[in-house]
A = this chain, B = another copy of it.
Amino acid sequence: MENKNFLMIPGPTPVPENVLLALARHPIGHRTKEFSRLFRAVTDRLSWLHQTQGEVMTLATSGTGAMEAAMINLLSPGDRVLCLVNGKFGERWAKVAAAYGMQVEVIDAPPGEPIDPARVQAHLKADPERVLKAVVVTHSETSTGVLNDLKTIAGLVKEHGEALTIVDAVTSLGAVSVPMDDWGLDAVASGSQKAYMLPPGLGFVALSERGWAAQKVSRSPKFYLDLAKYRKSLKEDTTPFTPAVGLVTALYESLEMLHREGLSELFARHGRMRDGVRAGVRALGLKPFVQDERFASAAITSVATTEAESIRSLMNKHYDIALAGGQDELKGQIFRIGHLGFVSDRDILTALGALEGTLRRLGHGDFTPGAGVGAALAVMAP
């Protein structure tokens, strides 16, 4: 059938009808009271979602633009920065830092495994002069579905005393609790096409007061991504450059929906979907790529199978469900199920039913009919 495709990739994610209709509204002028009222409401809701007393900057960029803004506003050429790398997006941070002439240090872990906080601790202890300027953490690594232990790592950075914690929360924010103030995060970057339930095109960056202090003295060259300009304009409920008016209008709608759902149900729903997917996948004889439950992202589940590309192709052909493949060296080794944003328990059952049908078509029959859906229900509706 046409027009029946359902996105279960880790972005773009499904967009609710009322948000789509907001996108179809005629743009309003951005230098108007009407836009400023809207932008203020949106900005307040963003603080709520980030669990911060501070304000969140909205940029017309994709998530990578927000990541870059977070890094180059806090750091300067020559700065030592520790990047924690266990996937493609962790690698990206190291590339951004290198592009700006920072001294990149790396602690890595194999794809699918979390960064070991003990190694981070040892690295920080090996810096008694407190020269290291920042530790960069990918919270939910989109390329594998690992959730790094951000809380513990941020706590270790706090003990160091000088280094800042910079976080890629692109696929965690809105799916997993990211209590920015409580955990002492200094920069949090995210993007609209994830749990925000919007199309791509907006990037978000929140800074702590320590982050803003670092921003003031940062010497990395920047103009469009200069967050001081955004903060200044925000005092007048506006933006320094023309905002993506349509996406901001739609963001108002989606944030209101998230707010009505409430943070605790929002995170509970994503956790429930993760548990359901993992149980269902296992019941169908497949193996989640992230084996340890404690480090499984509530936003994405990767499944390890050399039949990944056949499964994706048949899921798309017969059931109109788009799954993501592995990236780079994981291509053909895993497929990824995105379950963040406008996705419900019902969609998880749908996906597992379709996955069962797909596996049958591929000649797998070593499970009782309905095993995937049944196993998911057992954990989602016990």
Measuring CB to CB, which residues of chain A are less than 8 angstroms from any residue of chain B?
A: 5, 7, 9, 11-12, 14-15, 20-21, 23-32, 60-65, 68, 72, 77, 95-96, 99-101, 191, 193, 199-201, 220-226, 241-247, 322, 324
Bound CA span A99–B28, Å: 31
Q: How far is the CA of A68 from the CA of B25 in the complex (A)?
A: 29
CB < 8 Å: which of B9, B25, B101, B221 contacts A29?
A: B9
Return chain B residues, CB-CB under 8 Å to A60: 60-62, 65, 200-201
Q: A68-B224, A222-B99 are in contact. Are A244 and B29 (CB under 8 A)?
A: no
The 6 A-B residue pairs with the shortest CB-CB distance in the complex, in nearest-first order: A201-B244, A24-B24, A199-B246, A12-B27, A64-B241, A23-B23
- Residue of B20, B28, B221 near A26 (CB, 8 A) is B20
* Residue in A7, A25, A26, A99 with the greatest tally of chain B CB atoms within 10 Å: A26
The distance in angstroms between the C-alpha atoms of A224 and B222, with both chains bound, is 12
Closest to A27 in B: B12
A1–B63 Cα distance when bound, in Å, is 39
Q: Are B9 and A221 in contact (CB under 8 A)?
A: no
Query: How far, in angstroms, from A11 to B101 measured CA to CA in the complex?
Result: 37
The residue from B27, B99, B222, B322 contacting A226, defined by CB atoms under 8 A apart: B99
| A27-B5 in contact (CB<8A) | no
Q: Name A219's closest neighbour in chain B (CB-CB).
A: B101
Instruction: Beyond A31-B324, A220-B221, list 15 extra A-B contacts (CB 8 Å).
Output: A7-B28, A9-B29, A14-B26, A23-B24, A23-B246, A32-B322, A60-B62, A60-B200, A62-B241, A64-B224, A64-B241, A99-B222, A99-B226, A200-B244, A221-B221
